[in-house]
Every structure is written in structure tokens, then in C-alpha cells.
């Protein structure tokens, strides 16, 4: 029994080109030495979706349907702190489909959502943003000589209380500082150390 050979994309293109020029399937079959049934299936597929590339097997069928994937995306965006296990349980409860944590990571990764640590910061109000923008515009054209007269300072507080870094959220790349992806940090309550630094350019 002869070994079955797959047609490469170049040969598929030659077949379609000849058929589009008015050649019959039988003529193309004899000219290229390819079974007419193969040419017939290729032509039918081209007529259906305009694609002639080979469809490679993806192996094991997907566990989730497109609708279930959309459900996962909406659920993860609504509650960004849900764990993969939480989302798996919610999916099972809503649709009856059970998936592993690893599958959950893959599904969300396909739509651009990844588990990342949230940015911990003091939330800025609209007034804060307006004042910072005004300050930046006022000093945008300052010369190095003007900045040399400024004393810069920064302070860092080290809290003695527990502040778990194990919290993760689902977010897309480039959205690290979006409000929904931040978490309010401790507002200087409880015991801790305050380190103040000052320097001049």
C-alpha cells in the first residue's frame, strides 16, 4: 500500500489556479498525478471558505466551548481577584463543565488576561491628578540650572504589620496602573519605620 502524502500549500495553489482558469478536475488530476477525489475536496473547501491550507490536527478536543470561554472572560474581569480554582468552580456551577487550573490559565491567556500582582498605591483623587498635571506643565520648560536649586526628597515606610503579597489579579498587558488593577496600600497605620532621603542635583 502506497504511503499517503499530503499536498503542500504551493501544490494546492497550483491546483486551484488551474481550476480557476477553466481546467476540469479530471484534466488537473491527470496533469499533476493527483487523485480526482482529492482535487474535488480541495476545490469544494476553497469554494466554502476560500482557504486551501492544510488543517493540522490540534490533538485533544477543547474542553470548553466559545460561549464558555466568553463566560470565563466576563467573570474574571468582573472579579479580578478570583483565583483559577474559583473560576473553575463558577464555570462548573454555571455550565456543568469542569476544567483544571492549568486549562483556566490557558483560556484566559488566549484572551490576554494573566495573573499578576496588583499595584499597591495610595489612590489619587481627581484633585490630586489636576494639581499634579498643573505642576508638571508649570515646570516642563525648566532649565538644568533651575532644577539645580531644588532639593529633592523621598520617603519610604516599612510596616511591621503583615501585608501579604500573595494576592493576584487578572489583567491584560499594559494595564498595570489602571484603577481596577490597583489595590490601596496601608495608610501609615500601626508600627513601622519611616526612612527619609534628600538629595540635590
pLDDT tens for the chain, residues 1 to 201: 344 567 788 888 888 888 888 889 999 989 888 888 888 888 888 777 777 676 655 567 778 888 999 999 999 999 998 999 999 999 999 999 888 888 888 888 888 888 888 887 777 788 988 999 999 999 999 999 998 888 887 777 666 655 555 688 898 888 888 878 887 765 555 566 666 666 666
Number of domains in the chain: 3
Q: Is residue 80 part of a domain?
A: yes
Q: 107 and 135 share a domain? A: no
**Has residue 57 been placed in a domain?**
no
Q: Is 87 in the same domain as 28?
A: no
- The CA–CA distances, whole Å, from 26 to 9, 36, 84 equal 20, 6, 55
If asked whether residues 126 and 194 sit together in one domain, one would say: yes
Kindly state whether residue 125 falls inside one of the protein's structural domains: yes
Do 105 and 129 belong to one domain?
no
- Residue 131 belongs to a domain: yes
Pick the closest to residue 116 from 186, 178, 166, 75 (CA basis).
Answer: 166
22 sits in the region (left: phi over 0; alpha: psi -120 to 50; else beta) called left
Q: Tell whether 172 is covered by a domain.
A: yes
Q: For residue 135, what are the domain limits?
A: 119-199
Asked whether residue 154 is assigned to any structural domain, the reply reads yes
Q: Residue 160 falls within a domain, yes or no?
A: yes
Q: Write the CB contacts of 106 (distance below 8 Å, at least 6 apart in sequence).
A: none
User: What is the spatial distance between Cα 185 and Cα 187, in angstroms, rounded to a whole number?
Assistant: 6
Judgement on whether residues 167 and 125 belong to the same structural domain of the protein: yes
Strand boundaries in 34-125, DSSP class E: 114-116, 119-121
- Angle of CA points 26, 30, 34, to nearest 5°: 90
97 with 161, same domain? no
Amino acid at each position: 500500500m502506497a504511503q499517503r502524502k499530503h499536498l503542500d500549500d504551493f501544490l494546492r495553489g497550483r491546483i486551484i489556479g488551474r481550476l480557476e482558469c477553466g481546467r476540469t478536475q479530471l484534466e488537473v488530476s491527470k496533469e499533476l498525478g493527483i487523485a480526482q477525489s482529492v482535487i474535488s475536496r480541495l476545490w469544494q473547501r476553497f469554494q466554502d471558505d476560500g482557504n486551501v491550507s492544510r488543517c493540522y490536527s490540534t490533538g485533544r478536543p477543547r474542553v470548553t466551548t466559545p460561549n464558555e470561554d466568553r463566560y470565563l472572560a466576563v467573570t474574571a474581569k468582573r472579579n479580578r481577584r478570583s483565583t483559577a480554582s474559583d473560576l473553575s468552580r463558577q464555570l462548573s456551577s454555571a455550565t456543568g463543565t469542569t476544567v483544571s487550573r492549568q486549562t483556566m490559565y490557558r483560556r484566559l491567556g488566549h484572551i490576554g488576561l494573566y495573573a499578576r500582582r496588583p499595584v499597591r498605591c495610595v489612590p489619587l483623587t481627581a484633585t490630586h491628578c489636576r494639581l499634579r498635571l498643573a505642576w508638571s506643565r508649570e515646570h516642563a520648560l525648566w532649565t538644568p540650572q533651575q532644577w539645580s536649586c531644588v532639593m529633592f526628597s523621598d520617603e519610604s515606610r516599612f510596616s511591621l504589620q503583615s501585608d501579604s503579597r500573595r494576592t493576584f489579579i487578572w489583567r491584560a498587558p499594559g494595564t498595570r496602573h489602571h484603577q481596577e488593577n490597583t489595590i490601596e496600600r496601608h495608610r501609615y497605620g500601626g508600627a513601622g519605620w519611616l526612612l527619609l532621603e534628600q538629595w540635590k542635583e
